[in-house]
Amino acid sequence: MRVELTVNGQPVAFDGHPMERLLDLLRERLSLTGTKEGCGEGECGACSVLVDGEPQLSCLVPLLQCGGRRIDTIEGLAHGPARALVEGLVAAGGVQCGACTPGIVVTAWALLQSNPAPTREEVAGALAGNLCRCTGYEGIFRAILQTAESHEHSGKVENPVS
């Protein structure tokens, strides 16, 4: 089947099996390998992308349900509106092995869009589905809260600078 959608602001069409995973379409067809496969079964959050602005797990999204959707991946965000958040994560020690980082950035970015001044508890709640086995989360939380305080996350996701 043929499905048309938007990825990082660009119109894209995929011909594929209706149950093919969005994760594979991004990585294998578009070479957008910033989105990571961790568990592949909806437990770890590494493959988080934005679907119409909401964080979802791309390993659980079949092609059939992508028609007309707006997908934003780490590539669109990190080189554009979420740049300050990424730099903050690096500076605060919120990145170690890096496998979870794209999913953390995507999810934290979505949180800051809907809640520009989150509490620590709200940050932890939003990231409950993003597993990090290295950092202990302290650096991650600090970076997100500092980014929120500095108001540097207020770029528009629809117009990434990249």
Partner 1 sequence: MSSSPPAAYSPRTLAEACRHLAAEPRLVRLAGCTDLMVAAAERWPWHPGVIDLTGIAEIRGVREDAGGLTIGATTTFGELRRSPAVRARFPALAEAAAQIGGWQIQNRATLGGNLANASPAGDSLPVLLALEPMVVAIGPRGQREIPYTDFHLGYRRTALAPDEILAWVRLPPPPEGAVQAFRKVGPRAAQAISKVVVAMVGTVTDGRIAELRLAAGSVAPTPVRLARAEAAARGLQAGPEAAARAGSAAASEVTPIDDVRSTAAYRAWALERLVRRLVLGLAPGPLPGEGPI
Q: What residue ranges bind partner 1 (CB under 8 A)?
A: 1, 16-19, 21, 41-43, 45, 48, 51, 54-57, 59-62, 64-65, 67, 107, 125-131
Residue number with CB closer to partner 1 (70 or 87): 70
Q: Please report how close the Cβ of residue 109 comes to partner 1 at its closest, in angstroms.
A: 12
Q: Please report how close the Cβ of residue 130 comes to partner 1 at its closest, in angstroms.
A: 7
Residue number with CB closer to partner 1 (60 or 84): 60
What does the block give as tokens for 135? 């950092």
Residue number with CB closer to partner 1 (24 or 87): 24
Q: Please report how close the Cβ of residue 16 comes to partner 1 at its closest, in angstroms.
A: 8
- Cα–Cα distance measured from residue 146 to residue 72, given in angstroms and rounded to the nearest whole number: 23
Residue number with CB closer to partner 1 (48 or 101): 48
Q: Please report how close the Cβ of residue 72 comes to partner 1 at its closest, in angstroms.
A: 14
